[in-house]
Amino acid sequence: MYVRTVEICSNGSMKRNILPWVFAAAALACVVIIAWPEPAVRHEAGILCPAEPVQEPPTGRRPFVHDGYRITPLASYRLQALVLARKEYGDEASELSPMDLALGWGAMSNQAVIDLLDIRQSNRFYMWGARRLPISALEISSHSANVHIIPANDRVRDELGRVVRGSVVAMNGCLVEVTGPRGFRWRSSLRRDDTGNGSCELFFVESLRVTD
């Protein structure tokens, strides 16, 4: 039994009733996992990304249109982090944000900690659980995040294709609010210590570098 499971973020407007497909998808997933194991990078024990993400006011940044959506910068944002998990999506927002990255820094960039956690992503959520907590639940939640990635250009999109679980990434851009057709609205969290619906970062990534 897990000590604790935390679901971090989603956007309620994008949820779908997937229950009729659960068993078929699970069976297919088993076949896919056996045939194509997920690529991953492992590291020696120790903190890889000690610095906290840097969030600053979006000085000089004005709203703009990107792929038919209106993007409003809320904060400039940059970080170096360990990729705890990655997941590509095909939902209504995927043309804008094709992938979520679960990212960790500080204690959550330590392989010795990560090895004791069960980390998963589903339906625009990042979830963790543990039989025994390697660090406090507060430290886990405040040093990790599920991030909806909006590639600003083809270079970022191509680099995103290189990212696997265990990659160390350096990213720069801005946290944003997005509005679009049919009342579409998606807003980034601006805190690192929140959990639950609406707690994800919506990150317009202008530069991305896989450093490991």
The per-residue pLDDT of the chain, averaged, comes to 86
**Distant-in-sequence, close-in-space partners of 3: CB < 8 Å, separation ≥ 6:** 129, 130, 131, 132, 133
pLDDT for 22 equals 33
Question: What is the number of domains present in the chain?
Answer: 1
Q: Among 165, 46, 163, 22, which Cα is nearest to 107's?
A: 46
pLDDT digits (tens, 9 = 90+) for 27-52: 444 444 444 567 899 999 999 999 99
pLDDT of residue 6: 52
Distant-in-sequence, close-in-space partners of 78: CB < 8 Å, separation ≥ 6? 53, 54, 170, 171, 172, 173
Q: Is 175 exposed, middle or buried (0-12, 13-18, 19+ CB in 10 A)?
A: buried
Report pTM. 0.84
Q: Which residue has the tokens 């330590």?
A: 110
Q: Please, which pLDDT band fits residue 23 given cuts at 50, 70 and 90?
A: very low
Mean pLDDT, to the nearest integer, of 175-199? 93
pLDDT confidence band for 196 (50 / 70 / 90): confident
Residue 154: its H or E element: helix 154-160
For residue 147, pLDDT beyond 80 = yes
Among candidate residues 130, 146, 10, 31, the one with its CA nearest the CA of residue 85: 146
pLDDT for residue 10 is more than 60? no
pLDDT tens digits along 65-122: 999 999 999 999 999 999 999 999 999 889 999 999 999 999 999 999 999 999 999 9
Between CA 47 and CA 34 the distance in angstroms is 31
Task: Please determine, for residue 14, whether its predicted confidence score (pLDDT) is greater than 70.
Answer: no
Tell me, what's the pLDDT at 2?
39
Structural domain span for residue 164: 4-210
Q: What is the pLDDT of residue 92?
A: 85
Q: What mean pLDDT is predicted for residues 21-32? A: 41
- Interval 4-17 mean pLDDT: 45
Closest CA to 8 of 203, 146, 192, 148: 146
- The terminus-to-terminus CA distance of the chain in angstroms comes to 33
Q: In terms of C-beta density within 10 A (0-12 exposed, 13-18 middle, 19 or more buried), how is residue 97 classed?
A: buried
Using 50, 70 and 90 to split pLDDT, how confident is the model at 15? very low
